[in-house]
Structure 1
Amino acid sequence: MSSLEHQQAPLCGHDAPGEGDPPTVLPPERLLDRLARAMGVAAGEQIVHVETLDAREPSYGDLDPPLPALLRNALAEMGIARLYTHQAEAITHVRQGRNVVVVTATSSGKTLCYNLPILEHILADRDARAIYLYPINALVNDQLKSLFHLNVALGQEAVGVARYTGSLSSHRRRAARARNPNIWLTNPEMLHLSFLLWHQNWEELWRNLRYIVIDEVHTYRGVFGANMAHLLRRVLRMAAHYGADPQFICCSATIANPKELTESLTGRPFHVVDQDGAGRGRRFFVLWNPPLLEDGAANVRRPYVEESVDLLLHCVRANYNTIVFARARSLTERMLRVSRALSSGAKDASLSAQITSYRAGYLAEEREEIEGRLRAGDIRGIITTNALEMGIDIGGLDAAIISGYPGTIMSTWQQAGRAGRRGRDALVMLVASQNPLDQYYINHPRAFFAQPHERAVVDLQNQHIRLKHLLCSARELPLTADELARMSPEERDLVDDLVQGELLVPCDGQDGQNGALTYPPSRREIHLGVSLRAASHETYRIVDAQGQEVGTIEPPNVYREAHPGAIYQHGGDDYRVTYLDRQRKVVRVREERLPHYTRASSALTVQVEGIYATCEVRGAAWPYRVVLGDALIEERVHSYQELRLRGDEMVRRVNLDHPLVTRLHTTAMWVVVPPPLRLQLQAMDPLPGDTVEDGSAGTEAPAALDAALHATQHLLTGVMPLLVMCDRRDVGGYYHADHPDVGGAAIFVYDACQGGIGLAEVAFQRVTELLALAHSTVAGCRCREGCPSCIQSGVCRLRNTVLSKPAAIALLSALALDGAGRPVVSPADAVTEDRLSAQGTPGGAARVALGRARALQELEERTRRRSLMDRVASAAGSPAVTARFAPGDRVELSPYGRGVVLATHLEDHHEILTVRFAHRGVVRRINATRSAVRKVE
């Protein structure tokens, strides 16, 4: 057998410097000492904990039979002499025909786990084809370079490889199709819009498809994961149509449920390879808490963004190639501006040019240029979002600064793994913000390093997503009579609803398609109305005064970051938004020179649209209800603040001429406060007058009840990522002291995406754990009156007014603890309405019915082709529409019968009603301008 061994990189610092080599750098532990001195670290303050992760020797495995000599020689030319144990194990399972998911650390050579067995197969069968799927184009470009090096080593036996992404010109895509390569590198969007939609042009690929590679499979969760699961089912249907049965090879970061995730995505059984055989250098992982400001009693710390920028500059000055991960796109731009301003002096004249940012929203050419400069070593400091969290080869990095806990343990270790690649020692610093989740881990460092990785959730029951993919499937290939006969009763009901709504129609009977159903060609192209990464399909172009495209942005960010008057930051440049064209999806901007930034203000309302599961929990003194149901979330961006970049001093506050409204139909969980507890909180002493946004004192003291509800809402949404893999932005919260739909005080936690993604259901099933985590967070905080580490939130619409720590503790103690002060036992067996469905989803049948009604209405409206008169009227500007209906009106519409208007709004010269009909409680969005809906007494 052959002996293939990975060449080892030095374990500390850079190589010994030669001509053109970078200078030698300090070992991480010495750099940490230097940082402590430079940052004025007080003993036991900023540096809360240092975890030293020992170096690990690699372990190697062998293949039986060995790889073909051609491949062994190609690997030898690349400096690889042996395979790691996980690589050998994965290749063995692939050879045996199993679907495999490889779960090992960053930079462990996962790509060889699929490249080698696929190349081995293609060398033996030149007709074989493979599709490699990547979530971002940067990974496509990266893998193309890796396969290029392998092909160079293969010489005349090289296999055909091509990338196929939307960033390529149509000419280059045509040229790639003409070459008809063995391996296609692409993304889910191109699979959806080209490979499937125009499958007749890809017949040879589909007939010979042997492998589908899904890299970074852990990214396919939430909305993206639900879309991906339905997309892959369409892929397998298409492959079967052409007589192929492809095998899956997946690679993932470490998560708690890789087998469950891949099987949910594909519907196929998987074998897990998770024993990492790769070696690594030492890693020093530092938990860093910014220092308290001079008024330490307020428990307010220096902004973590400023602390991160200072650490970045010190690392780069010490010749450390450093990456900074920020939690939001806007923060990358602010940090870049501050870092360049601080390094603009004569001493750091060359430093400013060596620091840049990288995030979604940049044009493809910008991102590729930055990636190339990183690999070439022209950039020493890079500030990014999680866009560079994945395994893109960006050269050797010595330090990673994680600016704020990214929301999941999985993402934290992915980001940490970007430093110390190629076996070098590395320094990792997690700089904590003051949100409760960050401070929880700062106060419990052992819990952080012992915390298991999260589960990735994929919700296959989202009706908005499910219906769109079913229609796409029927558009690609008619649903045959045999397929319809094999459907479950629930699936057949779904098809019947689509037929009734004329979204599926019978085929014309030609080509043996009697009894088959297809998507009607008279409607708009359904594939163009599907966004795989979000519940909506709207991308706004950002265009400057010269007509040049600056970047792109999608809802809901467009209303919050690109409203009229907003300052939009891009690549270190500032632009003022002059006009938001919602019809053409264009944001017009001009250059802005003032060193300011803007922050939008919005108001939120929640309407209950349906209930499909409840449970009763016995608290310390009184039982209370927890409900899972359907909700309409309405957010109105009504004004914005303009602030100075340095010091956050407010310059002005501006009201928008027309509020920007976003409506979200989703799943929510809410806790109903029992009436005796509500009265107890109302009887508490009123709180001191709060400070309102303009800095003046509030005129009325807020009630303790409102302050308790508000603080608890912050805590529940803040600790939600401890229960399930999600970003804090995936979950929304709301409270009301006397909600009209609930009949009392309630706290809501909802999925922040159209149709829901299953997170509220997890909160419902594990509500007592969620409440206990919130209680331990606030009760364990050392502040007296509440602080950013417990009850305050960085995304609070009320600017953290109307909050009370004592009131929150009183509320959570009554909800989370029993009479003996112990955590309440989980109420999972107490569901009283529409018990757990076969899919394990509370209230599955009711949720399907309500979600389907909304989704059908939306699809019917979005796919209807507008007449010429409609388009002319829209272009000319129709007269204003007068509202004829109001919430609470009783209406009638055939075939639904009678119902009650829940909400109304005007949209593109039409009056849109949200109506709950009496029959089965169905909720529909009705265009009152076009339909025959009428008022009834």
Structure 2
Amino acid sequence: MPHSIRELLNELPGEVVYQHRLAARSALLDEIPRNIHRKLYLPLRHEFPQGLYSHQTKAIRQSLSGRHVALATSTASGKSLCFVLPTLDALLRDPQACALFVYPLKALSGDQLELITHWAERVGLTSQVFRLDGDIKGEERNQALARGRLFICTPDILHTTILRRNLDEHYTRIFKNLAYVVLDECHVYDGVFGSHMALVVRRLRQVCRNHGSSPRFIVASATIGQPHEHVSNLIGTDAVDLITEDMNGSPTAERDYFMVNPANTESSYGYIMKLTRELVKRVTQFVVFCNSRKEVEQYALSLRQDSPKMHDSIMPYRSGYESSDRSAIERALRQKTLLGVFSTSALEMGIDLPNLDICVMVGLPNSQVSLIQRAGRVGRRRPGAVIICGKETPFDEYYFKRPADLFKRALEQTTVNLSNPNLLISHYACARIEGGDFENPRLDPDIFGREFINIAKQVHQFDYAQDILYDQEPHFKISIRSIDDPVYKLGYGHSTIEIPLGQITYSRLMREAYPGGIYLHLGTRYRVKKVIFGKREVLVDRRCPFASTKPRLESWVKPKTTLRKGAVRSWPSIDVTESTLSITEKITGYLEKSASEEREVVYKQPLMRYFVTSGIVIKIKGLSRLTHGSIVGFANAIENSYPIVYRCARADIGSYAWSKEEHEGHIYLYDATPGGLGITSSALAHFEKLVETALDGVISCECSLDEAASIHGCIKCVKSNMWLRYPNSTRADTLFLLEEILRVVTQSAAEITLPQDRRPPSPSQRNKYGRTVLANGSVVYTGAGHEAVVISSTPMESTISPGERLYLVQGAMGESKSFIGSKLTLIQGMVELWCVNCGADSISMEDAVCPICAEKLI
């Protein structure tokens, strides 16, 4: 295999800059646990006469002993047996026992059903295994609930249906007798999805406790950084036994990695198209991983146009398709009627495709975990090859110049953030419905944690503007794969029911399915006819030209004045501050290009998106070469470099810059998720490393060799590759500014100022009685897009939030509501002081002592 692949690559217009070989590994076996139920032991001895893999026996023993177990081993290591066998053991020992298997994708649950059914059949439990998903309805679902004991579902169904209906008779039976909960592919529960899922699991544990059960968890994951911490964050307990990759006893075939740079005369797009055609000619099964949905569709569309005879050999594959379309593609790959797919990360997960020989990556994925998962699609039963084609991105440039570092790169930790207020309020709205007592639901602190319980108490004491709290069925308003990002249905014809084309979130709609734009689906062009916002539907038409469109985006970022200040690191002329930021995005129209013409369409009514998130503000003042072009270039350079310093996707973050004349500049680096997930906050602690990496990228960028390109730079260094309207950067000024900033931050120590709630009180602070207060008449943001005017405020006597003030505000319709100060964001108005010693308020921020009691304020 490696010789033939190397020969193929040598024939193509590119250079193999590095080759890495992952050696084969032999199996390490251990005897089948003798304490497993005899109905399982005998067929296991027959099917595995030499024993199971060593990590399988260890996981099964620990689970049978009553422990929570987590497995973090590589793809194709046989993790499924580690949870199927203990679960069936429990069902055989207790005729009432039930189990819940949760898979992040419906396709995965269908794929695993075959293995589960195989072992259930061996022990006479086949009739008690059922899927519970959106395709199982009516009488079929009633039969499943009446007869089933082992249920296979997705997190979405668990959230919207199973937990919501836990008090219904059939669902109550399941929760009263729930012995096992299995969470497979749990490395996918990362970022927004992971943060939602951690709260769904806590709600599941609370519902089980309400019904008198305490299920054991078995959690399976790919190899990730700090797996024990991730699993603990996900299920809410540290009492988990971990099986890691160094315990893995499964065999692997040899796998060769080839890092390829297309020739200077060839783009990565052209190279991939030529490579794909050659793989089809050689009748080799393969997967081409792309880093965006649009890229997947563009490759499929180009193949259809340029090589129509090959169209039936390759298909696109991504999220957002109808489940029937995705299942058909998977089935065709298994049956070898399809040679390959262009895929997003949707195929990283454990869908069993044992016949794949070659994995192609169009650019590096954003994380080492994704790299390993994608490569793990091949080399399962026989040697496989992985071809990584470099793209014009700063991330690829960095590692293609340091290829050996790529294979030494540490595995990243996943992000589970349980501090996002939008998230906590949404899941509290669901939890109090599930508890049966709307006004006083049972919420145990050892399950949900202090912050969630405080939110629950505050909702009872004060007014919250979030509509979700007053909805009778909040579950259906919450998509657990996004935060404050509504899901729209796509359809062809006069309604989305006639010919459904999947789903799309509003944030993606602004990029891919905006009115009048060309939307790509399964390699076919569609014109977006209409977006029906009230029904959350997008209607498309196949009658469209051979053209492409790009949306026109305008973006604004503003820091929000809040009473809770963030941490600050300061150097001479430079401040880096944690901040709450408001983001406004506006699609004003689109640019359409065809072979014969180019035209711009301007909307009468733009598409808007507004959200509040977390981020950092970099304030630079008094440095030389502080031009608007250098500030814009600096913002782009640090955004480009951030995924190298901190694991994240470029789509997870954003940047914005503005300058005040030519002596002050402000740069904002922010989380692209409403409410924030703490992704960009790491820039505060690692600012020096971020600047150093950005500077290295600009210095080494090849655009410096091109006189014309070097003026404004390129998308690999200081130029934005986004589709928003952004002022030009200036490469030379940016380079000078980066060098000066790096000199400042490395030659002088930073002064660090922590917010009040994150630092221990000093003796001097104990004698200072000033607290900030929003002045009456100020305009404030209360959340969920609502603004109000401060009428009055009084000191709080609540033990939930000591030192706070309770504000009475008036909304746009004249309604009055109460809020605690930390939940309000100042839009317009003044911040004053009040004295906690004597209660005096309306004190100027310039006063150092209280005018009433003469105590120190600040």
- Settle same-fold status: TM greater than 0.5: yes
Q: Distance in 1 between matches of 2:97 and 2:827?
A: 49
Distance 1:100 1:921, change over 3 A: closer
Q: Does residue 285 in structure 1 map to residue 257 in structure 2?
A: yes
1:486-635 matches, within 5 Å, as 493-501=454-462, 523-536=471-484, 538-547=486-495, 548=498, 549-610=500-561, 612-618=565-571, 622-635=572-585
Q: Does residue 655 in structure 1 map to residue 602 in structure 2?
A: yes
1:477-876 matches, within 5 Å, as 477=435, 478=437, 480=440, 493-501=454-462, 523-536=471-484, 538-547=486-495, 548=498, 549-610=500-561, 612-618=565-571, 622-644=572-594, 651-673=598-620, 675-677=621-623, 680-682=624-626, 705-738=627-660, 744-784=664-704, 785=710, 786-798=713-725, 802-818=728-744, 830-834=752-756, 836=758, 857-858=783-784
Partner of 1:30: 4
Q: Does residue 462 in structure 1 map to residue 364 in structure 2?
A: no
Q: Is the 8 A contact 2:526 2:543 kept in 1?
A: yes
Partner of 1:875: none
Deviations 1:797-847 (A, max 9, x none): 247x6123322222222223458xx5987x5x8233335389xxxxxxx9x
Partner of 1:395: 354
Partner of 1:432: 390
Distance 1:185 1:723, change over 3 A: farther
Q: Which amino acid aligns with 2:583?
A: I
Question: Structure 1 length normalisation: TM-score?
Answer: 0.77
SS at match of 1:224: helix
Backbone CA RMSD of aligned residues:
3.4
How far off its partner does 1:854 sit?
9.5
Partner of 2:845: none
1:76-87 matches, within 5 Å, as 81-87=50-56
Deviations 1:117-142 (A, max 9, x none): 21222222232211111111111111
How far off its partner does 1:566 sit?
0.3
Q: Which moved more, 1:755-764 or 1:484-493?
A: 484-493
Distance 1:492 1:237, change over 3 A: closer
Within the candidate set 405, 408, 415, 1:450 is matched to 408
How far off its partner does 1:398 sit?
0.4
1:80-119 matches, within 5 Å, as 81-119=50-88
Q: Is the 8 A contact 2:462 2:820 kept in 1?
A: no
Q: Distance in 2 between matches of 1:632 and 1:433?
A: 32
Partner of 1:335: 299
Q: Is the 8 A contact 2:9 2:16 kept in 1?
A: no
Q: Is the 8 A contact 1:323 1:400 kept in 2?
A: yes
Q: Distance in 1 between matches of 2:280 and 2:49?
A: 32
Q: Distance in 2 between matches of 1:481 and 1:358?
A: 43
Question: Structure 2 length normalisation: TM-score?
Answer: 0.84
Q: Distance in 2 between matches of 1:538 and 1:481?
A: 27
Partner of 1:369: 328
Distance 1:116 1:159, change over 3 A: farther
How far off its partner does 1:358 sit?
1.2
Q: Which amino acid aligns with 1:396?
A: N
Q: Is the 8 A contact 1:63 1:92 kept in 2?
A: no
How far off its partner does 1:919 sit?
5.8
Deviations 1:56-80 (A, max 9, x none): 1121223443644543454466677
Distance 1:707 1:917, change over 3 A: farther
Distance 1:286 1:823, change over 3 A: farther
Q: Distance in 2 between matches of 1:837 and 1:94?
A: 42
Q: Which amino acid aligns with 1:616?
A: R
1:169-188 matches, within 5 Å, as 169-179=137-147, 181-188=148-155
Q: Distance in 1 between matches of 2:93 and 2:348?
A: 36
Partner of 2:241: 271
Partner of 1:407: 366
Q: Does residue 254 in structure 1 map to residue 223 in structure 2?
A: yes
Partner of 1:313: 277
Q: Distance in 1 between matches of 2:454 and 2:128?
A: 45
SS at match of 1:759: coil
Q: Is the 8 A contact 1:665 1:755 kept in 2?
A: yes
How far off its partner does 1:898 sit?
9.2
Q: Distance in 2 between matches of 1:185 and 1:837?
A: 47
Q: Distance in 2 between matches of 1:597 and 1:170?
A: 43
Partner of 2:317: 358
Q: Distance in 2 between matches of 1:325 and 1:667?
A: 31
Within the candidate set 824, 830, 839, 1:922 is matched to 824
Q: Is the 8 A contact 1:259 1:272 kept in 2?
A: yes
Q: Distance in 2 between matches of 1:146 and 1:468?
A: 36
Q: Is the 8 A contact 1:616 1:623 kept in 2?
A: no
Q: Distance in 2 between matches of 1:807 and 1:499?
A: 54
Q: Is the 8 A contact 1:717 1:749 kept in 2?
A: yes
Q: Distance in 1 between matches of 2:139 and 2:729?
A: 59
Unaligned runs of 5+ in 1: 1-26, 294-301, 505-518, 683-704, 839-845, 862-884, 902-909, 927-937
Q: Is the 8 A contact 2:527 2:544 kept in 1?
A: no
Q: Distance in 2 between matches of 1:130 and 1:776?
A: 53
Q: Is the 8 A contact 1:566 1:598 kept in 2?
A: yes
How far off its partner does 1:561 sit?
1.5
Q: Which amino acid aligns with 1:590?
A: D
Q: Is the 8 A contact 1:768 1:823 kept in 2?
A: no
Deviations 1:279-305 (A, max 9, x none): 111111111122213xxxxxxxx4323
Distance 1:857 1:804, change over 3 A: closer
Partner of 2:836: none
Q: Distance in 2 between matches of 1:368 and 1:169?
A: 19
How far off its partner does 1:172 sit?
2.6
How far off its partner does 1:435 sit?
1.0
Within the candidate set 78, 91, 101, 1:132 is matched to 101
SS at match of 1:374: helix
Q: Distance in 2 between matches of 1:735 and 1:493?
A: 36
Q: Distance in 1 between matches of 2:732 and 2:51?
A: 61
Q: Distance in 2 between matches of 1:497 and 1:916?
A: 11
Partner of 1:867: none
Q: Is the 8 A contact 1:52 1:285 kept in 2?
A: yes
Deviations 1:71-108 (A, max 9, x none): 34544666775311211221122122222221111111
Q: Is the 8 A contact 2:130 2:151 kept in 1?
A: yes
Q: Distance in 1 between matches of 2:351 and 2:79?
A: 12
Within the candidate set 149, 161, 164, 1:194 is matched to 161
Q: Is the 8 A contact 2:781 2:825 kept in 1?
A: no
Deviations 1:583-617 (A, max 9, x none): 11111211134222211110110111136223234
SS at match of 2:76: coil
Deviations 1:303-344 (A, max 9, x none): 323322221221222121010111111111110011233322
Q: Distance in 1 between matches of 2:338 and 2:349?
A: 19
Q: Distance in 2 between matches of 1:917 and 1:237?
A: 28
SS at match of 2:506: coil
Question: What is the total number of aligned residue pairs between the two structures?
Answer: 778
Q: Distance in 1 between matches of 2:454 and 2:254?
A: 58
How far off its partner does 1:439 sit?
0.9
How far off its partner does 1:571 sit?
0.8
SS at match of 1:802: coil
